[in-house]
Amino acid sequence: MPDEPTNAPRGKRELYRGAALAVALTWSLRAIGLVSVFILARLLDPADFGVVGLAMTAVAMVEIFSFLGLRQALLRMDDPERSYLDTAWTIQLIVFALLALVLFAIAGPAAQFYGEPRVEPVIYALSARYVMLGLTNIGIVEFDRQLDFGRDLKMRATARIVSFIVTVALAVTMRSYWALVIGMIVQSLCLMVASYIMQPFRPRWSLARRAELLGVSLWIFLGVAAQVIYSQVERIVVGRTADTASVGAFAVSKDLSSILTQEIATALNRVTFVQTTRSGAFHEQGARLATALGGYAMMAAPMGLGLAAVSTSFIAVFLGSKWGAAASLVAPIAIGSALIAVYKLIASSLQAGGLERASALLSVGGVAILGAAVAVVAQRGGSPLDIAYAGLASSIVLLVIAVAALSHFARHSLRHLAIAIIRPFAAASAMYGLVIALPRLAASPLAELSAKGAIGAAAYFAVLLVLWLVSGRPASAEGELFRVARRAVARGR
């Protein structure tokens, strides 16, 4: 990478290509992650996942302070000088080194809090990851600026594949939760090494631009930190009130739901963040943001409600009978995860548009809403399932508030923004109702899953098309989808 990075391509074709590559990157990595979960779930017990899940909850609460928003601050600059990159890397290294020490210090208290002594050595081991993450090459931010996700895919896929091989090999030989722990450490080490192989930029120690970077990034940090806390609130309460096996079932349900819904949003946000920063004044981007919201909802809604509808068969096929307790948890968690996927686009768009303070306050408000809901349920002796439904209700409230805020700041019709989201979720809800109303179609869980999955997908797109037609064929994400579909059919002929 040159000392002074060049601007990213701005054309619509490049943006679509970047979005496709970003999704391909995420799905490639998550496919490996899913296979890993499916294999490890059969090799290890729910209690093993529970121990690591408890440790990761403590880790996540410390890791909050690593999300300083440095990457977003750099991406909002048209042409950052080398000194900005050097300063960002230096701050990154200092922060991660301090977090490693903090994590090491809280290992004992965290184990006492959860009443699980096995958590302590796990947290000690995981603290080593932070030194590796702190040393990671800051130059890889240019992959996002240039929409160059090919090299990013190679870098992250290499780390994930090596980690996958190591984790599965250790699980087979050790049959212990330590396989999961060592796998995570190996992945961080590989990512650090690969970042210097794939990106020629070599950072230097510098704090010359700390004032400019931190001035922008602290509000972004607050917003991202609040989102991380939001994702952990339910796990913390379940970890405090339920047994280790239940914690494992809850953690796996959250992870599977996130992979199939929010990870898509995370991938596309890498592109839409850059696009929003370069599309002029934020209050003039309302129509584009409505289309983007509709596109996110169009992908997340069927994944979330689809997983909820076939959760029993899905768990039986991919995780096995010993994970039956997770089947009931998946439904509310997956639907809530789909809603949060759409919310994350709003939060990210506000950050990109220079409204990082509003984005942060929204996310902090979301934590307050979820915390209050979960606290009430837990105080009344609620089960993990009750806590999951409290999380779903909170996600609905947060998304409604966020859409209203976006309408205000983008100066765009609230009705237009809301309908862009409602249509895909209405179609997905119809699909959900149809699938759960179907009788058992096959004796085999795999055949049952395949049959209901196919019926559900067909129903979703049929209802989505009808809703779009009834709405008067507006210029929207659905319109773009059906236009592409017509072209594909025409070419096939």
Which two tokens mark 78? 């048209």
Q: Report the pLDDT averaged over residues 231-247.
A: 80
Residue 328: what pLDDT?
Answer: 82
**E strand spans, 280-324:** none
Residue 18: what pLDDT?
Answer: 57
Residue 391: what pLDDT?
Answer: 92
For the segment 240-260, what is each residue's pLDDT rounded down to a tens digit?
777 777 777 787 778 777 777
Q: What is the pLDDT confidence band of residue 28, given thresholds at 50, 70 and 90? A: low
Which two tokens mark 108? 């004992």
Residue 29: what pLDDT?
Answer: 65
Q: Report the pLDDT averaged over residues 78-91.
A: 87
48 in Cβ contact with 116 (< 8 Å): no
Residue 419: what pLDDT?
Answer: 92
User: Left, alpha or beta for 212 (phi > 0: left; psi -120 to 50: alpha)?
Assistant: alpha
Which two tokens mark 133? 């993450």
Report whether pLDDT(227) > 80: yes
- Please state, in angstroms and rounded to a whole number, the distance separating the CA atoms of residues 134 and 96: 5
CA nearest to 54, candidates 154, 123, 141:
123
135 in Cβ contact with 93 (< 8 Å): yes
Backbone angles phi and psi of 285, in degrees to 5: -105, 15
Q: Report the pLDDT averaged over residues 423-429.
A: 94
Q: Hey, how many other C-beta atoms are within 10 angstroms of the C-beta on 130? A: 24
What burial letters (b/e) apply to 252-274, b meaning 16+ CB within 10 Å?
bbbbbbbbbbbbbbbbbbbbbbb
Residue 37: what pLDDT?
Answer: 65
Of residues 129 and 13, more confidence is placed in 129
In angstroms and rounded to an integer, the radius of gyration of the C-alpha atoms of the chain is: 22
What is the per-residue DSSP string for 55-83? HHHHHHHHHGGG---HHHHHHTSSS--HH
Report whether pLDDT(10) > 60: no
Ordered by start, the domain boundaries in the chain are 1-208, 217-493
Residue 267: what pLDDT?
Answer: 66
Instruction: Calculate the CA 179 to chain-centre distance.
Output: 24
Report whether pLDDT(105) > 70: yes
Q: Measured in Å, how far apart are the chain's first and last C-alpha atoms?
A: 45
Q: What is the DSSP letter of 206?
A: -
Out of 73-82, 131-140, 225-234, 337-346, pick the least confident. 73-82
Of residues 23 and 475, more confidence is placed in 475
Report whether pLDDT(232) > 50: yes
Q: Where are the alpha helices (DSSP H) in 383-476?
A: 384-410, 414-437, 445-470
Residue 2: what pLDDT?
Answer: 40
Residue 436: what pLDDT?
Answer: 92
Q: What percent of the chain has pLDDT over 70?
A: 88
Cα atoms in the 13 Å half-sphere on the side-chain side of 492: 6
Q: What is the pLDDT confidence band of residue 23, given thresholds at 50, 70 and 90? A: low
> In whole numbers, what is the pLDDT of the chain averaged over residues?
83
Report whether pLDDT(266) > 80: no
Of residues 49 and 13, more confidence is placed in 49
